[in-house]
Structure 1
Amino acid sequence: MVVNAPDFIASLDGAAPAPGLSAPLRGLWWAAKGNWDQAHKIVQDDEGREAAWVHAYLHRVEGDLGNAGYWYRQAGQVAAKDSLEAEWQRIVATLLGSKT
C-alpha cells in the first residue's frame, strides 16, 4: 500500500501502479515510467483539480506550454517554472499529503 512519497517512488519498480491509487497518482506513476500516453489517457477523463494539475504537468513534459497553461488554470495552480522532476515530486507529495 502506498501511503507516502517514498512508498510511491519505490512502487515504480513494479509493472503496474499499486491498487487503490487515485487517477492523478496513477497518471504520475505512468509518467515516471515514461508512458506519457497512458498517463494522459488516465487524467484526461478525470474532471478534478488534482487530475488537471497532472494534466498540466504532462503537457509541460510534452513541451505544449500553451495547453499546459490552460490545465494549470483549471487546477488553480501557478504554472511551474522549476524542473520537471521537481514538479513531479511536488505533485506526488501534495497528493499524498506529505512533504517528502
Structure 2
Amino acid sequence: MIDINDFKQSINDAYPPAGLPSRVQALWHDGAGDWKKAHDLIDQETDKSSAHIHAYLHRKEGDLWNADYWYKRAGRIRPQVSLAEEWNMLVQEYLQ
C-alpha cells in the first residue's frame, strides 16, 4: 500500500495510484478537486467506512443535514475541525 506522503504527492497526477479501494480513490479525487467524481465513487457503497467519507463529502458540499445523516450511518459525529484537517484524518485512517 502507498504511504500518506506518496498519496498526497500523487494528487498532482492524472489518475489515482493503482489498487486503491474505492473509498480511498474518492478521497484522492476530492483532494484533486473533483468532488463529483469522489461522490460518484462512494454514493452506492453501504459499509461504515464509505459512509464516513460520504459524510465528509456532504459536509464539504455544505449540506450539513445530509452530512449528519451519513455520519450517523458511519457511527460517527461531525468533527469540529476544518475540512482540510478532516480530509487528512480520513486519508490517514483509510489508507492503512
Given the two structures, how large is their TM-score scaled by the length of structure 2?
0.94
SS of 1:40's equivalent?
helix
Aligned counterpart, 1:60: 59
Alpha-carbon shift at residue 89 of structure 1 (Å): 0.2
Alpha-carbon shift at residue 34 of structure 1 (Å): 1.0
Deviation above 3 Å: which 4+ runs of structure 1? Answer: none
Alpha-carbon shift at residue 9 of structure 1 (Å): 0.4
SS of 1:13's equivalent?
coil
Alpha-carbon shift at residue 10 of structure 1 (Å): 1.3
SS of 2:11's equivalent?
helix
What is the distance in 1 between the residues matched to 2:4 and 2:37? Answer: 21
Preserved contact between residue 2 and residue 95 of structure 2 (Cα < 8 Å): yes
Give the length in aligned residue pairs: 96
Aligned counterpart, 1:4: 3
Letter in 1 for 2:5: P
Preserved contact between residue 12 and residue 32 of structure 2 (Cα < 8 Å): no
Cα RMSD for the two superposed structures: 1.0
Letter in 2 for 1:82: V
Alpha-carbon shift at residue 5 of structure 1 (Å): 1.1
What is the distance in 2 between the residues matched to 1:49 and 1:78? Answer: 13
Alpha-carbon shift at residue 3 of structure 1 (Å): 2.2
SS of 2:10's equivalent?
helix
What is the distance in 2 between the residues matched to 1:70 and 1:37? Answer: 19
Letter in 2 for 1:53: H
Q: Structure 2: which 5+ residue stretches go unaligned? A: none
SS of 2:81's equivalent?
coil
Preserved contact between residue 22 and residue 41 of structure 2 (Cα < 8 Å): yes
State the Cα deviation string for residues 61-82 of structure 1 (Å, max 9, x = none): 1000000000001111121110
Alpha-carbon shift at residue 32 of structure 1 (Å): 0.8
What is the distance in 2 between the residues matched to 1:20 and 1:45? Answer: 19
Aligned counterpart, 2:21: 22
